[in-house]
Amino acid sequence: MNINEIETEIFDVLENNFEEKALAIFQFQAVYLPIYKQYIELLKIDTAQVKSIHQIPFLPISFFKTNEIYIQKKEEKHIPTLVFNSSGTTVQIPSKHFITDPKIYESSFHRTFQLFFGDIHQYCILGLLPSYLERGNSSLVYMINQLIKNSQHPLSDFYLHDHEKLHQVILELEKQQQPTLLFGVTYALIDFAEKYPMQLNYVKIIETGGMKGRREELTRKEVHLLLKDAFSLPQIFSEYGMTELLSQAYSLQNGIYETPNWLRILVRELSDPLNIKSIGKGAINIIDLANLYSCSFIATDDYGEVFANHSFEINGRIAQSEIRGCSLMAV
């Protein structure tokens, strides 16, 4: 299958043809993604014998710290036009995701947003992401900035440290009965909740994870209970994404994440990383078809459980792995 054809069909993939598309992308990346090709050769894997997504070797996410991971095909120009850097503490080496086609990322997050929340024009979009804004080159900030623009609501905006202004804007939105989504990094949401607890009826909160070393670590359940109590909300939503991915999963209740059709979560055994399963507990592997021109097959440092309907939950980090903003807390 021609890779240009696959690109046009990424977001139309169905349950019954996901594996076919994933295997086609694997064969493409195994040839034209240099570091992935080397990794496969070191594992002594014959790509011709890979007939199932469970046989695909997943690239350790740490490779994004030390390598420029993008397709290098002589007859076609895949030159990165954008580089996203990961979050983390100042002593950590950031991951870098080299993006050759930002339009794929934009299509991915816009389609995912519509899938989970509906028409963006009905919402006001607020971003409380101070550490991401200060750092720059954040894929999360890029996404929220586009959502803010596309919402076309006059009060949609980012908020750095001005909690008083955010408080006044939220009060006005509640008064207007305006459906609103507030995307926030965890520590900033807790800071805001402590200063301005209030009854929210029209504003929903989406936490994106991450204490960034600013506060004492809490489990995700503890964070959600704190925020639900402060804002009298029945649920706190969560977004699961990372620099190395061009797609996101969302949890709308009880910490269970669901994915768009082009994103698939698998689990691997800690003692045998090549033993990959579709259901059960283990270290999280991700297939992101939107990563067409980087790497679609990533072995993360998260630990969790995948259920029969492809939903999943994150239970924490693998021991000795670095703390990351997308999955800083254990559930």
The radius of gyration of the chain from alpha carbons, rounded to an integer in Å, stands at: 20
HEC string of 48-104 equals HHCCCHHHCCCEECCHHHHCCCCCCECCECCCCCEEEECCCCCCCCCCEEEECCHHH
Q: How far apart are CA 260 and CA 249, in angstroms?
A: 7
Domain boundaries, position 235: 1-264+283-331
Q: How far apart are CA 131 and CA 186, in angstroms?
A: 11
Compute φ and ψ for 159, nearest 5 degrees. -130, 125
Find the range with the poorest average confidence among 42-46, 149-153, 323-327. Answer: 323-327
262 contacts 289 by C-beta, under 8 angstroms: yes
pTM of the entire predicted model: 0.92
pLDDT in tens, 182-205: 999 999 999 999 999 999 999 999
Region 84-103: what's the mean pLDDT? 84
Q: Tell me, what CATH number does 91's domain have?
A: 3.40.50.12780
pLDDT in tens, 223-242: 999 999 999 999 999 999 99
Would 134 be classed as within a structural domain?
yes
Would 269 be classed as within a structural domain?
no
Compute φ and ψ for 326, nearest 5 degrees. -75, -20
Q: How far apart are CA 330 and CA 220, in angstroms?
A: 6
Region 32-59: what's the mean pLDDT? 97
- Of 168, 220, 217, 214, the residue nearest 191 (C-alpha): 214
pLDDT at 324 over 50: no
Band of the pLDDT at 320, cuts 50, 70, 90? low
Average pLDDT of the chain? Answer: 91
Would 137 be classed as within a structural domain?
yes
pLDDT at 326 over 50: no
Beta-carbon contacts of 259 under 8 Å, excluding residues fewer than 6 positions away, are: 247, 249, 265, 310, 311, 312
pLDDT at 184: 96
Strand-pair category, 280-288 with 297-306 = antiparallel
Q: How far apart are CA 184 and CA 170, in angstroms?
A: 14
1 contacts 24 by C-beta, under 8 angstroms: yes
Would 277 be classed as within a structural domain?
no
pLDDT at 288: 98
pLDDT at 116 over 90: yes
Would 271 be classed as within a structural domain?
no
Rounded percentage of the chain residues whose pLDDT exceeds 70: 91
Number of domains in the chain: 1
Would 228 be classed as within a structural domain?
yes
Q: What is the DSSP letter of 219?
A: -
Would 270 be classed as within a structural domain?
no
Unique residue bearing structure tokens 């740490």: 62
DSSP E strand boundaries for the chain: 59-60, 82-85, 96-99, 124-128, 157-159, 180-184, 203-207, 237-240, 249-253, 256-258, 263-268, 276-277, 280-288, 297-306, 312-317
Beta-carbon contacts of 189 under 8 Å, excluding residues fewer than 6 positions away, are: 128, 182, 205, 207, 223, 227
Region 310-326: what's the mean pLDDT? 73
Find the range with the poorest average confidence among 171-175, 201-205, 212-216, 277-281. Answer: 212-216
Q: How far apart are CA 193 and CA 209, in angstroms?
A: 15
Would 275 be classed as within a structural domain?
no
The residue type at 123 = Y
